[in-house]
Structure 1
Amino acid sequence: MIHLSRLGYLLGLEGVALLRGFREGADREFVEARIGEIRALLDDPALAEADGVTAEPGAISSGDVYRTWASHYDTPGNQMIDSEQPVVRRVLDGLPVGVALDAACGTGRHTAYLAGLGHQVIGVDGSPEMLAQAKTRLPGAHLSQARTRLPGVRLSQADVNRLPLPDDAVDTVVCALALVHVPDLGAVLAEFARVLRPGGHLVISDPHLLSGYLQPRTLRTGPDGLPALLADHYRPLSDYLAAALPLGFQVRHCEEPRRPPLRLHPATPPPNPPPPHGSWDIMHWCPEAAFAALSGIPIVVIWHFQLANDE
């Protein structure tokens, strides 16, 4: 069981803001403001009374969460997508056209882009709700000016650990913001290597480890009605290399886009905050500290690997 405390989280943001300030040259006014806010947070009765919740880790699945996220997952303003998508598409623009697999395709945003580039695309996802969004998106996919028609796109509900494809079936695999939900990274990369042709390309994006430490956890009500946490697996960069290199993948590019500056507006905390198993979006209680702690840190990591060609 994990105990989550709103007060503890806010104090943590203040501490990270101070540590970054010491490293990056904060002035005395900034430091004193953070210390003053810490004292105010400790004295705030709304935070002191019945603060926190004990939640069971892993009691809800990514499928449970995406069931509610699907309809608004990639609406404008999702900072992770806004940071990841331009980099991934820049990589895809430089790859040869062929057969592409969008593994954990979600709402089909990269599926549609690959199709617009001329690829024959297979989109695979485990969430029927996300696939429903993908089916809605694909008829209106933007086409490259060099193309006059949308190539074939096939969508399939399946797990990334068991792809419904034969060996050496595709030229490119894209997997965006999904491996954080996978406990065994090596097994999934081995499955990608299986379906890729020699010389094929693997493009991965994933939430960054630093972002995982500083963002609030995904908290929901579990099947038993008790608070529950989504199981997530934020990884250091070395984990991707340790899993990929023994499979014959070679690094072609790695990039860590940074979180844009937060734009939070202070709000007076209500005298009786909502239950802690409700909204966990509480950064507006100390917006200056949140801005200093989170702005400019790496938010995602993008890898471009190429499978060795034995010929």
Structure 2
Amino acid sequence: MTYLSALGYLLGLEGVALLRGLREGSADRAFVEARIAEIRGLLDTPALARAEGVTAARGAIGTADVYRSWAAHYDAPGNQMIDIEQPVVQRILDGLPVGVALDAACGTGRHTAHLHRLGHRVIGVDASAEMLAGARRKLPDVDLRAGDLDRLPLADNAVDTVVCALALTHVPELVPVLAEFARVLRPGGHLVISDAHPLVPYLSPTLPRGVGPDGRPALLTEYHRPLSAYLAAALPLGFQVRHCEEPRRPRPSFDPDTAPDPLPTQLSWDLPYWCPEASATALDDSPVVVVWHFQLDDATQRSGNC
């Protein structure tokens, strides 16, 4: 069980801001004293002092349930992770040879559509019926299939490019999924992966994603891995690294004049507005996603690996 506390999150942001400032040399005396005063103020804020946190069960809600609720607005403007991830992934895709492309965990088809515009014959695969329905509405002429990442509904050596965007954080093991990518790729094929950066869950509020079977708030289990985990899974399968990038968020602005009223006492995306300087310092230039570009060895080189 995880106890979610608005006050705890705000104090955590203050702590991160102090640690970053001290480590990077930007924390002068005024900054440090301001953080200490703000911490005292947060502890003395009646609304926060009285607020009960939420005890949530980890893993009590499934990915399918979460994506069912996200499907209608997943691609709506304002999703910062997508806004930062998409240009990097598409820049890599723009430089690859045109052929047959798989968008694995295609969702509502944002990368599928880009691959289609580039001239690829595209296959999109996703486990969420609701996300696939959104993709079919946008891309009625594209081959879209239901399937799981570790059991792709494709033949061996079927595609020249695989893209898998913001999905691997939901799978418990990387190796079975990357092995499937190696299976369906042709020799010399390209794999482009994006995933939430492992620092993201430490800086963003952890929010309940729904209600579990027992009627209590539920957390979606996510797997935030060190970057070395991708290499440990990919290299033995015959993948070679062509590029790795960690796109970062610009310095955020939390104008207190635009803060919601009243102060939220439960976990909320609005909480950083209540300690704007600390939030901006804690989140400034922090990595949001990691993007990998791998290329599969030729058949002779990888015959002993796959």
Q: TM-score, normalised by structure 2?
A: 0.92
Which letter maps to 2:69?
T
* Alignment partner, residue 262 of structure 2: 270
**2:296 corresponding residue in structure 1:** 307
Question: 2:142 aligned to 128, 153, 158, which one?
Answer: 153
Structure 1 stretch displaced more, 113-122 or 220-229 = 220-229
Which residue pairs with 2:13 in the alignment?
13
Kindly provide the CA deviation profile for residues 125-179 of structure 1, in whole angstroms up to 9, marking residues without a partner as x: 111111121122226xxxxxxxxxxxx6201111111110111111110000000
> SS of the counterpart of 1:77?
coil
Q: Which amino acid aligns with 1:209?
A: P
Question: Which consecutive segments of 4 or more residues in structure 1 shift more than 3 A?
Answer: 278-281
Separation in structure 1 between the aligned mates of residue 90 and residue 62 of structure 2, nearest angstrom? 29
* Separation in structure 2 between the aligned mates of residue 56 and residue 23 of structure 1, nearest angstrom: 35
**Which shows bigger deviation, 176-185 or 26-35?**
26-35
Q: Distance in 2 between matches of 1:166 and 1:52?
A: 49
Q: Is the 8 A contact 2:260 2:270 kept in 1?
A: no
Distance 1:125 1:268 in 2: 36
Counterpart check, 1:199 vs 2:185? no
Q: How far is the alpha carbon of 1:279 from its aligned partner?
A: 4.2
For normalisation by structure 1, the TM-score amounts to 0.91
**Please, which of 221, 224, 230 is the counterpart of residue 220 of structure 2?**
230
Distance 1:279 1:26 in 2: 27
Q: Once the 2 structures are TM-superposed, how far is the Cα of residue 224 of structure 1 from its aligned partner?
A: 2.4
- Percent sequence identity is 71
Q: 2:249 aligns with which of 243, 259, 262?
A: 259
**1-structure distance, mates of 2:153, 2:118:** 23
Counterparts of 1:56 and 1:172, CA distance in 2: 38
2:116 aligned partner:
115
Q: Secondary structure at the match of 1:133?
A: helix
Pairwise mapping of residues 158-197 of structure 1 onto structure 2 (< 5 A)? 158-197=147-186
RMSD: 1.6
Pick which of 296-305 and 286-295 moved more: 286-295
Asked whether the 8 Å contact 2:207–2:268 carries over to 1, the reply is no
Contact 1:121 1:153 (8 Å CA) reproduced? yes
- Cα gap change, 1:256/1:132 in structure 2, threshold over 3 Å: closer, same or farther? same
Q: Which runs of 5+ in 1 are unaligned?
A: 140-151
Task: Give the secondary-structure state (helix, strand or coil) at the position aligned to 1:71.
Answer: coil
**Aligned residues, how many?**
296
> In the TM superposition, what is the alpha-carbon distance from 1:214 to its structure 2 partner?
1.1
CA-CA distance at 1:280 after TM superposition: 5.5
C-alpha spacing 1:133/1:64, structure 2 compared with 1 (3 Å):
same
2:179, 2:237 within 8 Å by CA — same for their partners in 1? yes
Write the letter of the residue equivalent to 1:82: D
Equivalent-residue separation in structure 2 for 1:280 and 1:80 (angstroms) = 14
- The aligned counterpart of 1:22 is 22
Task: List runs of 5+ in structure 2 lacking aligned partners.
Answer: 301-306
Contact 2:71/2:108 (8 A) holds in 1: yes
